[in-house]
Structure 1
Amino acid sequence: MEIKETKHWTVDEIGEAAQKLKKGGLVAFPTETVYGLGANAMNSDAVSGVFDVKGRPHDNPLIVHVNSFEQVKDYVVALHPYAQKLADTYWPGPLTLICQTKTDLFAKEVSAGLPSVSFRMPDNEATLMLLKKAGVPAVGPSANTSGKPSPTTYEHVYHDLQGKIDGILDDGATKIGVESTVIDVSDPEQNPMILRPGAITKEQIQQDLGIEVSYDKHLLETSETPKSPGMKYKHYSPDTKVLMVKKQDWPAAVHWVKENNLCAGVLAGPRICDEVRANTAATFSYSDDSMLAATRGLYAGMRALDEGQLSLDVILVAVLPEEGLGLAYMNRLKKAAAQKYFEG
């Protein structure tokens, strides 16, 4: 692989980044969820480069980022009756729409052979300007090594992809911290179905649309191609072993760490971190005990503990209620921990 100088672009240098993106370069960009690795969705070589530098499985489809819903209308075969309402309500924002698309519009690698493509309009002014100036839609999976915690800052992207991509558009830390909600509206005859939870919850969507919305929880077989990123593979996982800890199990978990002389990191809210700090090697506290703070700090915390100077044996992460935004938090945490809880 050709080693490149990875440029650091500020928001004042969007024009340069846009030209690089348009001409087939790999440009990481900020969104309100996580940083994405951008490539011209019409350019097969550029899209293939995304898979190569991330080490991403080729049967894992990509989300196409656009700067308006009008663009999407040009690409779809039949628009779902609720697609316009979803876009009007949540775009720009952390909602991805899966639509049945016309053939031969995008690089074949985008859809992984499926007749549908995922679309999103990110809620970030710098990236919307990037897309507008580039004049092309861009794929944008998380700008990290595949399977690792997604990046929420410029520094996270640089850590994983320096020397592998053309540049990074820096707009500070992301606001939400976990990937978008993905909803399938590819079949106009079926009600929308959520394939991946995110900041926009099932309850919100049902209330705004006035209909029942289902949540696809089935586990994919090895031979199945996922319709949405994040459905099939182990994701979001640091190199250090991760264990989920339920609220009532923290005393037992701390005792286990001490008894076995483990070098343990803790990722939790301020209250728990204060209680365990004296008996663990490192802590990363969410800014407060709210669900939003936990979601925003999940990836950043796993990265900070995993990539710090200490060589940790285990990272203990707080389990939160699986409701509302907590469904997205726990979806990512369970995959990071390979579904494993601390069992005292």
Structure 2
Amino acid sequence: MTDRLSSTADGLSRAAELLRGGRLVAFGTETVYGLGGDATDPLAVARIFEAKKRPRFNPLISHFADADEAFRHVVPTASARILAERFWPGPLTLVLPRAADGAICDLAAAGLPTAAVRVPAEETALALLRAVGRPIAAPSANLSGAVSPSDADHVLEGLDGRIDAVLDTGPCAVGVESTILDLSGDTPRLLRPGGISVEDIEAVIGPVARVSASKTGQAPVAPGMLTSHYAPGLPVRLNAQSVEADEALLAFGSPLEGARVVWNLSETARLDEAASRLFAGLRYLDREGTRLGCRRIAVQPVPSTGLGLAILDRLGRAAAPRPAVQERSVA
């Protein structure tokens, strides 16, 4: 059963304790209830995807108690600082390059060079974020594809028994998700309309480009948008039953023999552990495999159940034929 915590000092303390321990806690913001997990802990983030039955490793929005804390983990532009001053706390998410010393993990950022950050306006949520003292990844607290929850009852309808607790802060004031604005390139781009209108944003920073959420038909790089994900430089070969001498190996369970370099997603074949280690493994094998003269990465089979579907979705995109010029990833 999922604990229902009241928004008292004791409830906040318990919720913060759970989050610091890598557990999952849903909490209300001014937009919708978010399913919170420590954004610096890949295993906690993997549990978010597992609880939601989320079919892909979409980038997740990391939540902070104030702009200064958020900007420790990303590289803010002048426009980002102006918008933060005007709209934070509030329903605006900014996509910015990840800082070299930022602590948001690869899985929360879907392996991309940018991260989505925001400061919510709900007072209890801010108190919780201050108590935890870490970035908290928090997509909507519902099963993937279901209607977003605007009160604690909605959360429990879909996630009771799948998460550790819900911090009941009452109905959400806005009830629709945050606006997502990409500031990682030369031109601001609206990735998802939401609680702050694009007209209000343009009144502050000037013209904003609108981006179709389905124009590419590829994997989401920010909530509400579709494009390609990070892929290693080395080609990827799926469902390997053997390994050639010039291949690196992404193993799952008992590793195949013969690879020059191996990264095991999970020696005990745990899908949550495999998800938490996927992006780090691809980066490691790309780097070390290239250094050792490997010509590609072989991937052992992963079950197509639970989190395995998300892992296979990501691996399938990494193994897809590469365009001559790849579109730049933005979130």
Whether the aligned pair in 2 keeps the contact of 1:194 and 1:215 (CA below 8 Å) is yes
Mapped to 2, the partners of 1:116 and 1:215 lie a distance apart of: 19
Instruction: Write the letter of the residue equivalent to 1:82.
Output: S
Alignment length, in residue pairs? 224
Tell me how far 1:220 sits from its aligned partner. Answer: 4.1
Mapped to 2, the partners of 1:17 and 1:213 lie a distance apart of: 38
| Bigger fraction of residues in helix | 1
Mapped to 2, the partners of 1:8 and 1:26 lie a distance apart of: 12
2:43 pairs, out of 42, 45, 58, with 45
Instruction: Write the letter of the residue equivalent to 1:194.
Output: L
What does residue 84 of structure 1 align with? 81
DSSP 3-state at the match of 2:117? strand
Mapped to 2, the partners of 1:208 and 1:149 lie a distance apart of: 32
Mapped to 2, the partners of 1:58 and 1:110 lie a distance apart of: 12
Whether the aligned pair in 1 keeps the contact of 2:179 and 2:193 (CA below 8 Å) is yes
DSSP 3-state at the match of 2:78? coil
Whether the aligned pair in 1 keeps the contact of 2:73 and 2:104 (CA below 8 Å) is no
Mapped to 1, the partners of 2:172 and 2:213 lie a distance apart of: 30
Deviates more, 1:52-61 or 1:8-17: 52-61
Pair 1:204 & 2:191 matched: no
Listed one character per residue, the Cα deviations across residues 281-313 of structure 1 (whole Å, up to 9, x for unaligned) are xxxxxxxxxxxxxxxxxxxxxxxxxxxxxxxxx
Pair 1:194 & 2:190 matched: yes
Tell me how far 1:98 sits from its aligned partner. Answer: 0.3
What does residue 229 of structure 1 align with? 223
DSSP 3-state at the match of 2:72? helix
Q: TM-score, normalised by structure 1?
A: 0.63
Whether the aligned pair in 2 keeps the contact of 1:69 and 1:87 (CA below 8 Å) is yes
Whether the aligned pair in 2 keeps the contact of 1:112 and 1:225 (CA below 8 Å) is no
Tell me how far 1:14 sits from its aligned partner. Answer: 0.4
CA-atom RMSD in angstroms: 1.6
DSSP 3-state at the match of 1:143? coil
Mapped to 1, the partners of 2:57 and 2:3 lie a distance apart of: 30
1:216 pairs, out of 206, 211, 215, with 211
Instruction: Check 1:218–1:131 CA distance in 2 against 1; reply closer, same or farther (3 A cut).
Output: closer
DSSP 3-state at the match of 2:50? helix
Pair 1:9 & 2:26 matched: no
What does residue 176 of structure 1 align with? 174
DSSP 3-state at the match of 1:149? coil
DSSP 3-state at the match of 1:74? coil
Whether the aligned pair in 1 keeps the contact of 2:213 and 2:224 (CA below 8 Å) is no
Whether the aligned pair in 1 keeps the contact of 2:181 and 2:189 (CA below 8 Å) is yes
User: Which ranges in structure 2 are unaligned for 5 or more consecutive residues?
Assistant: 228-331
Instruction: Write the letter of the residue equivalent to 1:230.
Output: G
Query: 4+ residue stretches of structure 1 with deviation over 4 A?
Result: none
1:74 pairs, out of 72, 75, 79, with 72
Tell me how far 1:100 sits from its aligned partner. Answer: 0.3
Tell me how far 1:186 sits from its aligned partner. Answer: 1.4
Listed one character per residue, the Cα deviations across residues 63-116 of structure 1 (whole Å, up to 9, x for unaligned) are 00001111122112x421200000000000000000100357222211112110
Tell me how far 1:167 sits from its aligned partner. Answer: 0.3
Tell me how far 1:227 sits from its aligned partner. Answer: 2.6
Mapped to 1, the partners of 2:226 and 2:86 lie a distance apart of: 29
Pair 1:124 & 2:122 matched: yes
Listed one character per residue, the Cα deviations across residues 124-160 of structure 1 (whole Å, up to 9, x for unaligned) are 0101110111111100000000001000010000010
Tell me how far 1:202 sits from its aligned partner. Answer: 1.1
What does residue 54 of structure 2 align with? 56
What does residue 106 of structure 1 align with? 104
User: Which ranges in structure 1 are unaligned for 5 or more consecutive residues?
Assistant: 234-344
Identity %: 40
